[in-house]
Amino acid sequence: MTATDFVGPLRLGVNIDHVATVRNARGGAVPDPVRAAVLAQSAGADGITAHLREDRRHIRDADIEALVEALHIPLNFEMAATAEMQTIALRHRPHAVCIVPERREERTTEGGLEVAGDQNRLADYIAPLADAGCRVSLFIAADAVQVEAAASVGAAVVELHTGAYCDFHDEGQFAERDAELARIAAAATKAHALGLEVHAGHGLSYDSVGPIAALPEVVELNIGHFLMGEAIFRGLPDAMAEMRRLMDASRVKAVA
């Protein structure tokens, strides 16, 4: 006989950066990323993620201000560990601050944060943000050394980088994909055992989300680029509903 076992709820955070990328391509006011965030909120998003980059290539300071005003779901404010961003975060006190590495020449956030080796600076950097009530998340590669370092600097959350897993999946390199998935699973288990909340994201699509959503320690996925692309064809609420359906389906495990 087969029963089903629900692994636990999984939150969907919607990243709206790419709406701002399209807006900025013409330098005007449309499409408005805040409108996308409000639509995602009313369509059942559990949170909104926005990355204020040092070069302001997509999200701008005024967008963050408007998001803080408009949202009643948690805002996950993504940023580099710079003094300027710390000041902005302390001014707005978002629900969560996700610290990511940032290089001007990259197209997107390419690697994980180098926490090991920068532990003293990051511990000092995180402390005032945590004191201000923000849940501090570190976006890291699925690597035991980085997970241990994240726990030691006082982060509440780690977000595991799924970019390499998704790239291997999309390129049909399934042995490499499965090895990366095993690394993500091991990192999730370790992070959870160290008392960290575990999130995951980057590059996830309908095709690749299932095995990540099935990891029991993962409680939040942050997804942007694929959802916004899909929204062009079916609208954002419908694109999100399909992602949610796939996520939820993966949380229900068949047990003997």
**Catalytic residue numbers, as ranges:** 51, 78, 202
Instruction: Please give the helix or strand (H or E) that residue 4 lies within, else none.
Output: strand 3-6
Which positions from 220 through 239 interact with ligand PXP, judged by CB under 6 A?
Answer: 222-226
State the Cα–Cα distance between residues 187 and 191, nearest whole angstrom: 6
Does 159 sit near ligand PXP (CB under 6 A)?
Answer: yes
CB of 141 or CB of 204, closer to ligand PXP = 204
Within the chain, residue ranges assigned H as helices are 17-26, 33-42, 61-70, 83-92, 119-131, 144-152, 163-170, 174-193, 209-213, 225-234, 236-251
Binding piece for ligand PXP, criterion CB under 6 A, among 26-34, 39-47, 64-72, 200-208 = 200-208
Residue given tokens 């982060």 in the structure block: 155
Assess 201 for contact with ligand PXP (CB under 6 A). yes
User: How many positions of this chain bind ligand PXP (CB under 6 A)?
Assistant: 19
Overall residue count recorded for the chain in this entry = 256
Determine which residue in the list 48, 50, 138, 139 makes contact with ligand PXP, applying CB under 6 A: 139
Residue 74 makes contact with ligand PXP by CB under 6 A: no
List, as one string, the DSSP characters of 207-248. TTHHHHHT-TTEEEEEE-HHHHHHHHHH-HHHHHHHHHHHHH
Q: Cβ of residue 160: shortest distance to ligand PXP, in angstroms?
A: 10
Q: How far is the CB of 2 from ligand PXP (least distance, A)?
A: 33
Does 67 interact with ligand PXP (rule: CB under 6 A)?
Answer: no
Binding of ligand PXP by 218 (CB under 6 A): no
Residues 42-61 that bind ligand PXP (CB under 6 A): 51
Residue 168 tokens, joined: 């291997």
Q: Which of 45, 75, 109, 165 binds ligand PXP (CB under 6 A)?
A: 109
202 is a site residue for ligand PXP (CB under 6 A): yes
Nearer to ligand PXP, 153 or 223 (CB): 223
- 245-248 contact pairs (CB < 8 A, 24+): 246/206, 246/209, 246/210, 246/213, 247/10, 247/12, 247/209, 247/213, 247/221, 248/10
**Contact residues for ligand PXP, defined by CB under 6 A:** 15, 17, 51, 78, 98, 100, 108-109, 139, 159, 201-204, 222-226
